[in-house]
Amino acid sequence: MFGANRLRTRTGSGIYQTGRERVVQILETALDIIVESGYQALTLREVARRCEIQIGAVSYYYKSRTDLLQDVINMVLVPYADKIVAILREQGLSAEQKLERLIRFLLDDIQTRRTTRLFPHLWALSNHDPFVAKAVDSIYLLERQSLKKLIAEMNPGLADQERDALAVYISASVAGSTMFIGCEKPWASELPLYSAITCHALVTLAKTVTPEQLAAFGWQREDMKQPWKTPTLLTDEEYRLLFERDAERAEADPQQADGSGQAEAATPPRKNRRAPPLKRQA
């Protein structure tokens, strides 16, 4: 169950503890519906039926299923953010070991029923819904920013644009595995072997690839964009808010992130940010 004390929702959707607990119940139920039957099956009436409450109790917090989806997606961001930050802050590990742990975490997560079912729905919706497209972009911005930090430690000879592209490649390689090793997929039982191959290939690549090797396959540093700006669907303001909220969360509850009691103080520069709880445009 997702903790009510860590809920991140739209303004006004559950101010008091009892209200927040009701919102958590609604969101968990909505997420279950999407996972089991797809977004097309998500209705306020179905959420109310499963929660055994009146539909008015659902519509009190959510006027439409698009509002509901907004908070479901924002809810999904929190555990990812916490786990990724915790991995990056682990003491006594090299950047290579942290990257391996991050890759293994993402591969293990792919094997959960929720991730295997939820993310393909979000990918499909993102082709038609600008809000969902930005939300999905936010999730992967968060992931790639962490990957970039590790790549920079492992391979400082790469330029920022090259690190960003390498982070995209690693992220895409892992996400693309969903159709093969996800829950109930044909290769699901072969995760240990697949993880070993993936970690070896991606960690080695991140550590050893050079600009000269990239040039041999057609990349020219003269083509680098200066200054480099991470491609994203988010506006500059959304991009900024994404990392501000993450920094605020870490400062408010640093032990939740890494158990050390120390929080990162600074918001990353424009080129290195994560995504805010997005708001659908009226």
Task: Round to whole Å and give the CA distance between 181 and 217.
Answer: 30
Q: What integer pLDDT is reported at residue 253 of this predicted model?
A: 56
> Does 12 have pLDDT greater than 80?
no
Model confidence at 110, in pLDDT bands (50, 70, 90)? very high
* Residue 38 backbone phi and psi in degrees, to 5: 95, 165
Q: What integer pLDDT is reported at residue 247 of this predicted model?
A: 65
Model confidence at 275, in pLDDT bands (50, 70, 90)? very low
Task: Round to whole Å and give the CA distance between 46 and 33.
Answer: 8
Mean pLDDT throughout 14-40? 85
* Residue 188 backbone phi and psi in degrees, to 5: -60, -35
Model confidence at 98, in pLDDT bands (50, 70, 90)? very high
Model confidence at 79, in pLDDT bands (50, 70, 90)? confident
- Any idea where the domains of the chain sit in the sequence? 1-71
Instruction: Give the chain's length.
Output: 282
Mean pLDDT throughout 105-115? 94
Which class for 228: exposed (0-12), middle (13-18), buried (19 or more C-beta within 10 A)?
middle
pLDDT, one tens digit per residue, over 36-45 is: 998 899 999 9
Model confidence at 245, in pLDDT bands (50, 70, 90)? confident
pTM over 0.75: yes
Domain 1-71 has CATH 3.30.70.1560: no
Q: How many CA atoms lie within 13 A of 113 on its CB side?
A: 8
pLDDT, one tens digit per residue, over 137-154 is: 988 998 999 999 999 999
Average pLDDT along the chain: 84
Q: What integer pLDDT is reported at residue 116 of this predicted model?
A: 94
Model confidence at 17, in pLDDT bands (50, 70, 90)? low
CB 245 within 8 A of CB 273: no
Q: What integer pLDDT is reported at residue 255 of this predicted model?
A: 52
Residue 90 identity (one-letter amino acid):
E
Residues contacting 160, CB < 8 A, separation 6+: 228, 271
Mean pLDDT throughout 254-266? 40
pLDDT, one tens digit per residue, over 163-222 is: 999 999 999 999 999 999 999 999 999 999 999 999 999 999 999 999 999 999 999 998
> Does 282 have pLDDT greater than 60?
no
- Find the range with the poorest average confidence among 9-13, 69-73, 127-131: 9-13
- Scan for tokens 């390689």, then name that residue: 173
Secondary structure percentages of the chain, helix, strand, coil, to 5: 70, 0, 30
Task: Round to whole Å and give the CA distance between 151 and 31.
Answer: 33
Taking phi over 0 as left and psi of -120 to 50 as alpha, with beta for the rest, 12 belongs to left
